Amino acid sequence: MFNTDKPSLDELPTSAQLLRSTIIAGVVALAILVMVVLPAEYGFDPTGAGRVLGLTEMGEIKHHLRHEAEEDDHDHEDENTSLLPGFLNIGLLNILVPTAHAQDSWRDQVSLTMAPGESAELKLVMNGGDSAQYAWVAEGGRINFDLHAHGDGQSVTYEKGRGEASGEGEFTAEFTGTHGWFWRNRDKSDVTVIINLSGDYSEVIQK
């Protein structure tokens, strides 16, 4: 056993000292919450300190990813196996069937495989006024996509989709530039997107 001296009452902190220490600790915790935690986790930066420290952008990215994941979970709950334009879905098997947009022969076919969380891009180099036709199917799961374009200082979004297994259609380039898809796999397994292309484009760029 160790012998220790019992502190006297004069050595113990007073109630006022304890209250002051508690208030100081609370103020410090609140400052950390407002200046660090909120910007870094939620992108909310009421003081501007988070942006100076480089935390706000990180929080905005986290918030966007959480929102996207929640929407994906909701989409998967609501999904069904009804007929989709141009494709017949039987479980994970997607079979191309004839539609008004069906092509007797396609100019190009591209296959993109993405692991869970990965993304890929497929762009067509087109002049303003040119048109392109497409039909795609996702094998192994469902996919998020954004069909958009950039060029000459301009940008436009043609179509977006979440948790989709197939798609088809045609678009006309609104300006000269690169026009195409950004794909992201939010599923839990590898997804392969096979896309058939035809139309007035000079080059296919895969990233």
- For the chain, 207 residues long, give each residue's pLDDT as a single digit of tens: 555 666 565 666 777 878 888 898 888 888 887 777 777 777 777 777 767 776 666 666 656 566 666 666 555 455 443 333 444 443 333 444 434 344 558 999 999 999 999 999 999 999 999 999 999 999 999 999 999 999 988 999 999 999 999 999 999 999 999 999 999 999 999 999 999 999 999 999 998
Separation of alpha carbons 71 and 49, rounded Å: 30
Neighbouring residues of 197: CB distance < 8 A, sequence distance ≥ 6: 106, 107, 108, 109, 110, 124, 132, 133, 134, 204
What are 119's strand-pairing partners? 184
Cα dihedral: 70, 75, 78, 83 (round 10)? -170
Pairing of strands 154-164, 191-199: unpaired
Q: Name the percent of the chain in helix, strand, coil, to the closest 5.
A: 30, 40, 35
Domains and CATH numbers, the chain: 12-77 (no CATH), 87-206 (2.60.120.680)
Closest CA to 124 of 178, 83, 173, 164: 178
Q: What is the pTM of this model?
A: 0.53
d(CA 147, CA 173): 12
Return the pLDDT at 201: 96
For position 179, what pLDDT does the model report?
Answer: 97
Give the separation between CA 109 and CA 194, rounded to whole angstroms. 7
The reported pLDDT for the residue numbered 59 is: 61
Confirm if 135 and 168 have CB atoms less than 8 A apart.
yes
pLDDT at 96: 43
- pLDDT value at residue 155: 92
Predicted local distance difference test score (pLDDT) of residue 138: 96
Which amino acid, residue 48?
A: G
Residue reference for tokens 């069904």: 80
Residue 105 dihedral angles phi and psi, to the nearest 5° = -150, 140
Q: Specify the pLDDT at position 44.
A: 74
Distance CA 123, CA 207 (A): 8
What integer pLDDT is reported at residue 100 of this predicted model?
A: 39
Local structure of residue 10 (DSSP, 8 states): G
Placement of tokens 């100076």 in the chain = 52
User: What span, in angstroms and rounded, lies between the C-alpha atoms of 46 and 43?
Assistant: 10
